[in-house]
Chain A
Amino acid sequence: MTARDLIAMSFGNLWRMKLRSALTIAGVVIGIAALVSMMSFGAGLQKNVAESFEAMELFSTLKVLPRPQTQSSGPDTATYRTLDSTAIRQLSQIPGVKSVWPEQVFQVRAKLGEKGANTSVQALPAEAGQWKVFRTLKAGRFFASDTVREAVLQRELLKRLGLTDPDSALGREITLITAKVNLAAVWGGAMGVKGLNPFAEARYTFTISGVLESTMSEYQPRDLIIPIGAAQQMEYLSFSSPFELLNQVTRGAGGGYSSLTLRIAHSRDHDAVRDSIDALGYNTFSFADMFAEARRALMIFDAALGVVGFIALVVASLGIANTLVMSIMERYREIGILKSLGADDRDVRRLFLAESAVIGFLGSVLGLVFGWIITRIAQAIAGYFMAREGVPRMELFDLPWWLISLAIVFGVGVSLLAGLYPSRRATKVDPVQALRHD
């Protein structure tokens, strides 16, 4: 018998017993659908988180933070290391470090012609133009050096500023208005002069060099990106608590940065660099470590979900075995006829295995379709809530080819396993008994 004969016969037999076949296949469908939708969730999270991490090159990025004093060896304040230009120089010299720049994110009022919008500014080095997120801009280019007065805008901000065509923004001037401390007023206030405003505004003009349309979910860049050198020329206030503000006002500008961003040339140096920074007396925050942790958590989650689908499949395989055993009893005489016509045990076994394989295949394919539908529904529901919470739209599921093939291989494999015993039993049919007239 050829494979084609076997498959044709199997389909014929399943087609004849439509309801029973449908119910048996439904078992596989449920198992595979559960497995696929769940694993698709795991794959989706993994893929999307990894993708946005990669786009921002976070795997080779470390954040350097000042170590709180209580954590240092003694009460001696000399061990408290400020994140200033000395620290930047020191950190740059660690082998394997590609670049270090201060974390500067602050609020500005951006003005483009008559229109204005409040937004946050992020300072990045020109080398960030090589990152995946910035490699393909909607229009224009990334800024050319760390010191030019050029800016890259998110398209969304541009819209708020009244421009829909990104190309028309290129080359236009944008004014960034920051809040700064009016030292004269502060001193004046201290001398007892009334009515002086301790705050003043500062205006800086930038040229729009590029427009970005980021679809990344998490860790997306801020709405306005300027070169680090240019940012250092700016006076601004940035604080997360009134005490931080108080600190800045009393100490004046340039007291040190809240954090530094450090890029590693090769990710294999990651651990060594992290340890060196630690030895210098700074705290670090590693995205790679965080991702590894997240992935571990996801793997456990995935495994748990996989078990649910697997149990469903085990139950389905019992259904398959039951269906086939029943089918053997009904087709007792037919098996005898086949044997009298020259079928050997291998032919008979194959016939029943082919039937279970077809059940498994149909179940897997339908299971994939149903699993996919489940993920679409779940995505729609999640999307609704994400939109309501103001979270950018994020694809939670992924159905890669390896998952599709795995589902089919697994569905067919489990079905074949379920068909093993019935198919052996079919070979045991005694043709003399089966052909005896009733």
Chain B
Amino acid sequence: MSQTQDNITLLTASSLARHYRFGSSLVKALDGVDLDVRRGEFLGIVGASGSGKSTLLNLLGGLDTPTAGAIRTAEGDLNRMNPRRLARYRATEVGMIFQSFNLVPHRSALGNVELALYFLDVPLRRRRALAAEMLTRVGLADRLEHRPADLSGGEQQRVAIARALVKNPALLLADEPTGNLDRDATHMIGDILADWNRGGGTVIMVTHNLDLARARAHRVLRMDYGRFVAEDLSAGGLE
């Protein structure tokens, strides 16, 4: 399953920490994480609720800033980037999908996908064409004008995936993409992600579904209390 993965490092996180001060107590959502992600890799992350998986993805996606540690990418150190550079990193390098889809409710499927190209200064007509093409690729050619409310959960998540992939990012961050979906929809989403990965894309997927992680990922890591606790839970690994 790991034919396309090469040995070039896409990003490296070292001693990554994210602490929240909550009154007098300190919540260590992330507490010293080291991670190497290779280009073309499909990485699965599992772990109990509250173990810091979302926190890690938000840091890697440049949405959040770490309390300590560094994230090195081909574009440079994320913690050295000013807010505008970081926004640019999010616009060009990273696609994100979430358990709750995070679609804009008043925009059509096409409008939502197009949104990812607004900040890349893609002209209107090309934006439309690219978005329609991407929606066709995830099997929604006949749902372009539907509002999220008029789509099933699986369809909404496919719109979200189309939005994340339309700009052809270096990295796809999926935070429990199938958390709200049934088995068939889960399977379909898994297919799309694996497909994109086979085309050379790098995926980091957080999930509670160990079977899904094992079925799709090259490597599966477990988080606990803000750290990685075991290397490789994939089909051939520990446990």
Cβ of A427 to closest chain B Cβ, rounded Å: 10
Chain A minimum-CB-distance residue to B89: A342
Cβ of B174 to closest chain A Cβ, rounded Å: 13
Bound CA–CA A345/B83 (angstroms): 8
Q: Within 8 Å CB of B120, what residues of A? A: 342
Pair B87/A343 contact, Cβ less than 8 Å: yes
Q: Within 8 Å CB of B116, what residues of A? A: 341-342
Question: Given known contacts A345-B83, A346-B84, A435-B98, is B104 in contact with A339 (CB within 8 Å)?
Answer: no
Bound CA–CA A194/B74 (angstroms): 127
Pair B106/A342 contact, Cβ less than 8 Å: no
Which of B63, B98, B99, B103 interacts with A339 by CB under 8 Å?
A: B63
Interface residues of B in 88-123 (CB under 8 A from A): 88, 90-92, 96, 98-100, 102-104, 106, 115-116, 118-121
Which of A12, A345, A347, A432 interacts with B63 by CB under 8 Å?
A: A432
Pair A1/B124 contact, Cβ less than 8 Å: no
Pair B83/A437 contact, Cβ less than 8 Å: no
Question: Given known contacts A432-B63, A437-B99, is B119 in contact with A341 (CB within 8 Å)?
Answer: yes
Pair B115/A338 contact, Cβ less than 8 Å: yes
Pair A340/B90 contact, Cβ less than 8 Å: yes
Which of A2, A334, A437 interacts with B121 by CB under 8 Å?
A: A2
Chain B minimum-CB-distance residue to A341: B116
Task: Judge whether A389 is part of the interface by a CB distance below 8 angstroms.
Answer: no
Which of A336, A347, A432 interacts with B119 by CB under 8 Å?
A: A347
Task: Judge whether B191 is part of the interface by a CB distance below 8 angstroms.
Answer: no
Q: Within 8 Å CB of B102, what residues of A? A: 333, 336-337, 340, 435
Chain A minimum-CB-distance residue to B121: A2
Task: Judge whether A344 is part of the interface by a CB distance below 8 angstroms.
Answer: yes
Task: Judge whether B12 is part of the interface by a CB distance below 8 angstroms.
Answer: no
Bound CA–CA A346/B82 (angstroms): 13
Map CB proximity to B onto A395-438 as digits: 1 under 8 Å, 0 otherwise. Answer: 00000000000000000000000000000000000011001111
Chain B minimum-CB-distance residue to A331: B104
Chain A interface size, as a band, is: 20 to 34
Bound CA–CA A345/B82 (angstroms): 11
Which of A4, A333, A342, A436 interacts with B90 by CB under 8 Å?
A: A342
Task: Judge whether A76 is part of the interface by a CB distance below 8 angstroms.
Answer: no
Question: Given known contacts A334-B104, A435-B98, A438-B100, is B63 in contact with A341 (CB within 8 Å)?
Answer: no
Q: Within 8 Å CB of A436, what residues of B? A: 54
Pair B118/A341 contact, Cβ less than 8 Å: yes
Q: Within 8 Å CB of A345, what residues of B? A: 83-84, 87
Chain A minimum-CB-distance residue to B116: A341
Q: Within 8 Å CB of A16, what residues of B? A: 106
Map CB proximity to B onto A319-342 as digits: 1 under 8 Å, 0 otherwise. Answer: 000000000000001101111111
Pair B98/A342 contact, Cβ less than 8 Å: no
Task: Judge whether A5 is part of the interface by a CB distance below 8 angstroms.
Answer: yes
Bound CA–CA A325/B61 (angstroms): 28
Pair A340/B118 contact, Cβ less than 8 Å: no
Pair A1/B119 contact, Cβ less than 8 Å: yes
Which of A12, A339, A431, A437 interacts with B100 by CB under 8 Å?
A: A437
Map CB proximity to A onto B53-69 as digits: 1 under 8 Å, 0 otherwise. Answer: 01000100101100000
Which of A5, A12, A342, A346 interacts with B91 by CB under 8 Å?
A: A342
Q: Within 8 Å CB of A333, what residues of B? A: 102
Pair A4/B115 contact, Cβ less than 8 Å: no
Pair A437/B63 contact, Cβ less than 8 Å: no
Q: Which 9 A-B pairs have the closest CB atoms?
A: A342-B91, A344-B87, A437-B100, A342-B119, A342-B90, A431-B63, A344-B84, A432-B64, A341-B116
Q: A337-B115, A343-B87, A432-B64 are in contact. List 17 more A-B contacts (CB 8 A).
A: A1-B118, A4-B124, A5-B118, A333-B102, A334-B104, A337-B102, A340-B63, A340-B102, A341-B118, A342-B92, A342-B116, A343-B118, A344-B87, A346-B84, A347-B119, A431-B63, A435-B63
Chain B residues within 8 Å of A, Cβ to Cβ = 54, 58, 61, 63-64, 83-84, 86-88, 90-92, 96, 98-100, 102-104, 106, 115-116, 118-121, 124, 163, 179
